[in-house]
Structure 1
Amino acid sequence: MSEARTPRSARLLTAAAWLLLLVALWLGARELGLPGLPGAGDVSAAGVQLPPAHDPLPAARPHRVDIPAIGVRAPVVRRGLDRDRAVAPPPYEQPGVVGWYAGGTQPGAEGTALFVGHVDTESDPAVFYDLSTLEEGQKVRVARVDGSLAEFTVEDVRVIQRDEFDAAEAYGERHEGRAELRLITCGGTFDAASGSYSSNVVVSAYLTGTGP
Structure 2
Amino acid sequence: MSSGTRPAGTGRLVTGVAWALLLLGLWLWGREVTEGPGGSSAPTHGDIAAVGRPLGVALPPAHAPLAPAEPRRVEVPSLGIAAPIVARGLDGTGAIDPPPFSMPHTVGWFGAGTQPGAAGAALLVGHVDTDTRPAVFYGLSAARPGAKVRVTRTDGTVAEFTVDDVQVFPREDFDATRVYGRREPGRAELRLITCGGTFDRTDGTYSANVVVSAYLTGAGTTATGT
> What's the TM-score bracket when you normalise by the shorter of the two chains?
0.7 to 0.9
Q: State which of 107, 115, 118 in structure 2 corresponds to 1:106.
A: 115
- Counterpart of 2:218, as a letter, is G
Alpha-carbon shift at residue 161 of structure 1 (Å): 0.9
Kept after mapping to 1: 8 A contact 2:87/2:109: yes
- Give 2:63's aligned residue: 54
- Give 1:209's aligned residue: 218
Per-residue CA distance 1:102-143 (angstroms, 9 max, x = gap):
100000000010000000000100000000100000000000
- Counterpart of 1:37, as a letter, is S
1:36 equivalent to 2:45? Answer no
Q: State which of 125, 141, 155 in structure 2 corresponds to 1:116.
A: 125
Report the Cα distance in structure 2 between the residues aligned to 1:206 and 1:133, rounded to whole angstroms.
18
Percent same amino acid among aligned pairs?
58
- Give 1:21's aligned residue: 22
Alpha-carbon shift at residue 25 of structure 1 (Å): 4.6
- Give 2:84's aligned residue: 75
Report the Cα distance in structure 2 between the residues aligned to 1:206 and 1:18, rounded to whole angstroms.
25
Task: Decide whether aligned partners of structure 1 residues 35 and 163 sit closer, same or farther in structure 2, where only a CA change above 3 A counts.
Answer: farther
- Counterpart of 2:101, as a letter, is Y
Alpha-carbon shift at residue 86 of structure 1 (Å): 1.7
Kept after mapping to 2: 8 A contact 1:25/1:167: no
- Give 2:163's aligned residue: 154
Kept after mapping to 2: 8 A contact 1:34/1:172: no
Alpha-carbon shift at residue 32 of structure 1 (Å): 5.7
Kept after mapping to 1: 8 A contact 2:149/2:163: yes
Task: Decide whether aligned partners of structure 1 residues 10 and 120 sit closer, same or farther in structure 2, where only a CA change above 3 A counts.
Answer: closer
Q: State which of 167, 172, 192 in structure 2 corresponds to 1:183.
A: 192
Indicate the structure with greater helix content: 1
Report the Cα distance in structure 2 between the residues aligned to 1:48 and 1:135, rounded to whole angstroms.
10
Alignment RMSD (CA, Å): 1.9
Alignment length, in residue pairs?
201
Q: What TM-score, normalized to structure 1?
A: 0.88
Per-residue CA distance 1:144-191 (angstroms, 9 max, x = gap):
011000000000100111111111112211000000000000111101
- Counterpart of 2:163, as a letter, is V
Q: What TM-score, normalized to structure 2?
A: 0.83
